[in-house]
Structure 1
Amino acid sequence: MKILEWKRSSYYGNTVEEVMKKKTGLSLNELNQTIHQKLNRVEKMAEALLSIKDNLETVYLLGDYDVDGITSSLCMSLIFDALGLIYEVYIPRRMTDGYGVSENSLKKAAAYDVIITVDNGITAKELLDKTGKEVYVIDHHQAREDGALPNAKIILDPEVTMDDDFIHYCGVGLVYKIAESLYQKKVLSNAVMRKIAFLCMLGTIADVMPLIDENRTFVRNGLLLLQQGMFSELAEKTKLSPYATATDIAFGVAPIVNACGRLYDAGGQKIYDELYRYITKDNADMLDYFIAINEKRKKMQNAFFDEAWKKFETMSAMYPNVILLPNCPEGLVGIMAGKIQERTKKTTIVFTKTAKGTLKGSARGDDFMNVKEFLDKHKDLFLGYGGHKSAAGMSMTENSFHEFLSFAQSNAENAPECFELYDMDCPFSKLGSIILSYMEYEPYGEGCRKPIIRTVIEGTAYDGKWYRTMSEDRSFQLYTKDGIEVLGFNLAQKYKEYGTPKKIEALGTLSESSFRGKSQTVFELIDFRPI
């Protein structure tokens, strides 16, 4: 069991308010201001769609199989429907097409007048230019290293053009801005805008965008729609409270939208098609099916994570962490990389073998390494790659993998010193008194992280036991007398290795759960050690 030392973060403070001011640079009032940015190319894109309508042009929309890609495509479909356009939406097949624009994903485009890419396209100059079509690119990813851009009529990608006050939108955030412009022109109804706002909230959370500036407004507005009963069947089936948080969406809804595309080649198209039926025809027949697929994904994920962690614990030191899971589905390697990175605090790249015999990998970065720049330095080893500062995907031959692994091992001496960081200390008995100020800073997420609290917890025995295990013995609950629920998700094995201690020193975060109208303060463990 590899153990990280604990250390005060640079945001350390005595109160929630003090910590959050240091984390965000803003007061609570400043953080929660409603913001409406004006983006330079949004108006042009809205006018272009009106022109496409007037010219009776047909549209081929190329999306992506992750939540941002699916929600972006759904929102564009709602816009196209309102405009009365003839269009087709194609969601790439994860295994046969790969991410974004490919020769395969463009095959059907020949039958249409216009190609619009959403949540992809910025790096696909040659493929898009070769079509000879009128092309529009709506993306939020970074350009290629050589800076070459598609010869598109309009490129809406603030991360590339860098001429807007706020640039950190995901794909569906940009589509929302287009819809907002059309709504102001009275092209879209209020009912359609509400649906787009809800989908924008979901995609923004799922794509781990910084919950600051207008992204925060997107998420708060979408959560308010949930409170008002929008898509109630989805909320009921996913057991969402009307007062669900961004964290609840991230763990309770986003994985369901992602799961089908992770496990099945054409799963992204399937989830798009069925969600389109749901949001336009209120047909919720398939929701249970997708929830069941997500449960299957969870079981597979747990098994492959156990395999990955066992491998990691026997490997020599390296930086970044590089792990090969030859039988892991391609759609799960990103989750594996994220979980190993979360536990080790170091950049992690997990690979799997494809049916063609090559390797596909996914990287999740730490605070010390720019993943995209790191891959740029080793580009000769890859068959293809792409990404940004904190995440990337790549493919390579097995021979190149061994060379890459050797480099990571030789680079171990450059690994950063990592710690479990905490932001404040609070006696366990006082946690209930700070929960209100803690929850005022919702929604929490990237760019607005929860304060991590250090405290001491003593279990209270019921029928001779002060704990119980859950979720097939992967998680545990520590019983306490203070009315606070203490949960350790995926930490039961560690708790057992420590000898199931009754008293622990712990790091964790606070939240509220609701059952039958009653609120419960929850302390979720990040790490702990026996006392």
Structure 2
Amino acid sequence: MTSNKLWKIRPPSNLTTRLAGETGLSPLIAQLLINRGIADKHTATKFIKPRLADMIDPMGLKDMADAMILIIRAIERGEKITVFGDYDADGLTATALLYNFFSAIGIHAAFYIPNRLGEGYGLNIEAVQKIAKAGGGLIITVDCGASNRKEIELAQRLGLEIVISDHHQVPQDFMPCCPVINPNQPGCRFGFKELAGVGVAFFLAVAIRAGLRDRGWFKNRPEPDLKQYLDLVALGTVADRVRLLGQNRMLVAAGMEVMESTRWLGLRAMKDVADVHDAKITAEDLAFRIGPRLNAPGRIGDALMGMEILTTDDPVVAKDLAFKINAANSQRQGLERDIFDQILYLISDGGGIGSRRIIFFGGYAWHKGVLGIVASKLVDKYYRPSLVFNIQNGFAVGSGRSIDGFNMFQALSEFRHLFEKFGGHSHAAGFTLKKENLGILEEGLESLAHEKLTDADLTPAVDIDCEVGLCDVTFDMIRQIRSLAPFGEANPEPCFLARRLQVLDSRVVGERHLKLRVRQGNEERPFDAIGFGFGEKHPLNGKAVDVVFTPEVSRWQGLEGIQLKIVDLRPAL
């Protein structure tokens, strides 16, 4: 039993005592905040208690004023408005947010979600033509559009107005020809750059509501409470794996509170099928239970089901859709597992990874909807940038996922001449190219990765906040840790190291999860520990191990206990 990960234990900070004294926080929480780059009272207070009052003015987004002119004019003239979204959880929640908002202010908007398998990501020519034939008017994109200049120009030639709202990195040759609301576009001075697509859509809705209020729209109409839409923002933001800091942390924290008593019947139904019944919703519930289910229909080809469940006002329909979405998620898991196993066989049959810096695999009839997940699993297993693609009709369509130190979007940009289209950000991207260009791309990316990545870069690290004894692990400690939630990208759950734990019992539960009972030294109290995906480490009975873990409260038949959620383990030194 060995660990191939580098354990990095953060040293105690000499600022801990001062920060604890200034804030009234415990030394443990002060140290955890310092580990996350927060060392002053003002920033610590805002982190611990994020407030909607700290929301940045939406008008600070470049082009927001121009977008408002088009949108409010369309509303006042009764022109048709179509919200054009994306098929993933971020795009679906963003589309549903604006669609539900327009409905609440008395505007019957339409929506368009492209089919992942037939149309792909973003605006496309056929979709624009369909929208024009259906009555034209105004298109508002969400979570897409920044790289669709050709389609934007077509829409304008067909007499459509268009507003782009997006959060993805923009191409180097980006030259907007319509209002573009994207904090990452050149010249945008908005104070936070890392919103998800649904976050940008929320800021847009806030601005629209303010503009309509100024024009007297709500004198004889009810004004929607946009706080009630924050559960959609939380779900899309967490599912898109953006950094949960700053404005994102504020929106997600507020949104999780709203979700506990959500007004959206579809979210209630999805919580039921996902077995999310705890009084407190967590970011983990959104990331691993609800988010994958909302993503599933779009991955296998029917994202409209995701829109229907987020917009229905019929509880019977919501319940039926939730069961269908749950079935789609099971189907998605099977497709993903099949492709992943094929790639593992190809790697093994080829003699392993060797000196390769890039994992690059494609196949025929590989389901395009799950390629991104497979790429993510390859990154988790091999800790290398991974690209997975399906080959059909002379084209390769795929997804890439990356690690710190290798910006996937910038890497693909180096070979933009090879692509029919591509887009994304530092850790994830999608692409389409001709089959004959695959060899050139693989060779070029491999060469680039050898330039950018050292052997150290390819060794996954476990960041450990501090070393503790099991006697320190109490319910009060867990309560203090929860004050740092929501956890996610850039704010991971705190990890602790406990040394020389004696394994009293070891067994495998489920298909591949490790269940331990451990004790440290002369402590009378043993602890349960669970290691998801660590089943291959069994058996460990009687052995001494060092364990990196996050403490959590376990509940069983009405009883509460403390459980160690294993992050990594190795033989005791």
| TM-score w.r.t. length of structure 2 | 0.82
Q: Is the 8 A contact 1:381 1:404 kept in 2?
A: yes
Tell me whether 1:145 sits opposite 2:199 in the alignment: no
Partner of 2:257: 224
Structure 1 residue 89, shift from structure 2 partner:
0.8
> Which AA in structure 1 matches 2:508?
T
Identity within the alignment, %: 21
Distance 1:12 1:60 in 2: 54
CA spacing shift, 1:30–1:53, aligned 2, 3 Å: closer
Distance 2:129 2:561 in 1: 53
Q: How do 1:127-276 and structure 2 match up within 5 A?
A: 127-132=151-156, 133-149=160-176, 151-152=177-178, 154-160=179-185, 161-184=187-210, 185=213, 187=218, 193-228=226-261, 230=263, 231-240=267-276, 241-264=278-301, 267-276=302-311
CA spacing shift, 1:513–1:159, aligned 2, 3 Å: farther
Partner of 1:23: 36
> Which AA in structure 1 matches 2:31?
E
Q: Is the 8 A contact 2:101 2:224 kept in 1?
A: no
Partner of 2:490: 447
Partner of 2:21: none
Partner of 1:370: 407
Q: How do 1:18-417 and structure 2 match up within 5 A?
A: 18-25=31-38, 28-31=44-47, 32-34=49-51, 35-39=54-58, 40-41=60-61, 42=64, 45-46=67-68, 48-110=70-132, 111-132=135-156, 133-149=160-176, 151-152=177-178, 154-160=179-185, 161-184=187-210, 185=213, 187=218, 193-228=226-261, 230=263, 231-240=267-276, 241-264=278-301, 267-278=302-313, 283-312=318-347, 314-353=352-391, 355-409=392-446, 413-414=450-451, 415-416=453-454, 417=456
Cα RMSD, aligned residues only: 2.9
Structure 1 residue 63, shift from structure 2 partner:
0.5
> Which AA in structure 2 matches 1:478?
L
Distance 1:457 1:91 in 2: 54
Structure 1 residue 114, shift from structure 2 partner:
1.3
Distance 1:131 1:229 in 2: 36
Structure 1 residue 260, shift from structure 2 partner:
0.8
Distance 1:148 1:22 in 2: 40
The one-character-per-residue Cα deviations of 1:413-463 (angstroms, maximum 9, x if unpaired) are 5433124222222223433363222211001111212233222474655xx
The one-character-per-residue Cα deviations of 1:133-171 (angstroms, maximum 9, x if unpaired) are 21111111121121222x21x211111142111121112
Partner of 1:467: 506
Q: In structure 2, which of residues 464, 478, 484 is the aligned counterpart of residue 435 of structure 1?
A: 478
Q: Is the 8 A contact 1:78 1:192 kept in 2?
A: no
Partner of 2:19: none
Q: Is the 8 A contact 2:140 2:165 kept in 1?
A: yes
Q: Is the 8 A contact 1:322 1:408 kept in 2?
A: no
Structure 1 residue 123, shift from structure 2 partner:
1.1
Q: Is the 8 A contact 2:503 2:545 kept in 1?
A: no
- Runs (5+) with no aligned partner, structure 1: none
Distance 1:289 1:326 in 2: 28
Q: Which moved more, 1:338-347 or 1:288-297?
A: 338-347
CA spacing shift, 1:410–1:370, aligned 2, 3 Å: closer
Equivalent residue pairs, number:
519
> Which AA in structure 1 matches 2:496?
I
The one-character-per-residue Cα deviations of 1:323-367 (angstroms, maximum 9, x if unpaired) are 3354432121111211222333332222233x3242222112211
Q: Which moved more, 1:173-182 or 1:118-127?
A: 173-182
> Which AA in structure 2 matches 1:23?
R
CA spacing shift, 1:513–1:455, aligned 2, 3 Å: same
Structure 1 residue 521, shift from structure 2 partner:
3.2
Distance 1:18 1:279 in 2: 48
Q: Is the 8 A contact 2:3 2:568 kept in 1?
A: no
Q: Over alpha carbons, which structure has the higher Rg?
A: 2
CA spacing shift, 1:323–1:452, aligned 2, 3 Å: farther
CA spacing shift, 1:163–1:247, aligned 2, 3 Å: same
Q: Is the 8 A contact 2:411 2:445 kept in 1?
A: no
| TM-score w.r.t. length of structure 1 | 0.88
Distance 1:427 1:469 in 2: 25
Distance 2:448 2:495 in 1: 31
Structure 1 residue 281, shift from structure 2 partner:
8.9
SS of alignment partner, residue 104 of structure 2: helix
